[in-house]
Structure 1
């Protein structure tokens, strides 16, 4: 197994780098998009609430692979050509954002309504109050489920392997096909995923305790 890694370390590190890059991009944008739709679900405008609800329900109830394949196969035919990495990252972002939206919405609802009322009474606009008063408290409340979503996002990034996204799983398939050492090739990939997810898991626990 060690020999296999040493013979193919550049391949694995390329996949490791692409997995990290896709995960970071998807994490940042899914948090932004998810938070935006969470707020939309709570706005007085019925139209915006319906749009947010449709978005969340659609992406929550369609398998990630189907979403990613849509951007990899359908979108290039009618809109713009996308490579596997880009299509997979977009699919991963939209899919994860729907779950984050529900998580953040629950956090906002858990914040005392008096916080918003007090902020508005002191001259803040709705958006200022949401940004500076409500959302920071909401994020603090939902740190555990958000951490779980981020860890799931990293693991779900393996969907890029089906789109020639050159991530860890794709590179493992390449090594396994070339060497016929399937178990060892995927065992090494599992170790790399642990390197990514375990520190994040422990950090989220530390952050939860620190902010408690």
Structure 2
């Protein structure tokens, strides 16, 4: 217990960094992923192609490569970004591809008659998507979307390799200074991650049951 008391400030700072990174990247992924899903079902062919290209590119590229591109590649074209916002951008852009596919599956699950009825009363494609289709789609994709976001929290650990002092960065720092406390260091890091993911899973489970009743 004394080990955790002595290093409480390190764990707390790293926990807040991981939490902030997860929240900001998650918000970016949800907004961008939803927009990409809308483009993937758009009647405009170039927009569908652009969205498909984005999703296939990021879905088939390792997240570490995305980090290198954002943090070290963008400065080559005079777009310099600090390590933390760069990590938010890398994780958010990467996760958006998976959010897009989850939301698109929900859109495809909405009966075609819903969109046809909305167009029959004069709604445009964007109005129909926003007012009729997406609200129903999100109710069906809570479980897969939750899995994507929880996986994203764990993916933030890659930021430790790019000078971001998140939870995984504590492993080499504390193990080197406390060689005999390896198991305690690992336990502390695991518990901190679970403090983020378990409440998130609980909230998503409650939301899933709530929208199941609404359906």
Q: TM-score range by the shorter chain?
A: over 0.9
Deviations 1:124-174 (A, max 9, x none): 222122112110100000111001011101111111101011111113332
The normalised TM-score by structure 1 is 0.95
Match in the other structure for 2:42: 43
> What are the ranges of 5 or more consecutive residues in structure 2 without an aligned counterpart?
none
Question: Residues 22-101 of structure 1 correspond to what in structure 2 (within 5 A)?
Answer: 22-101=21-100
In the comparison of the two structures, how many residue pairs are matched?
Answer: 211
CA distance in 2, matches of 1:92, 1:8: 28
Partner-residue secondary structure (3-state), 2:209: helix
Q: CA RMSD in A?
A: 1.3
Q: Would you identify which runs of 4 or more consecutive aligned residues in structure 1 move more than 4 Å?
A: none
- Contact 1:110 / 1:138 at 8 angstroms: preserved in 2? yes
Matched, 1:193 2:193: yes
CA distance in 1, matches of 2:73, 2:149: 27
> What are the ranges of 5 or more consecutive residues in structure 1 without an aligned counterpart?
none
- Contact 1:12 / 1:172 at 8 angstroms: preserved in 2? no
Deviations 1:71-127 (A, max 9, x none): 121112332222221221111001100011111111001101111122222232221
CA distance in 1, matches of 2:177, 2:78: 36
The normalised TM-score by structure 2 is 0.93
Deviations 1:9-36 (A, max 9, x none): 1111111111111111111110111111
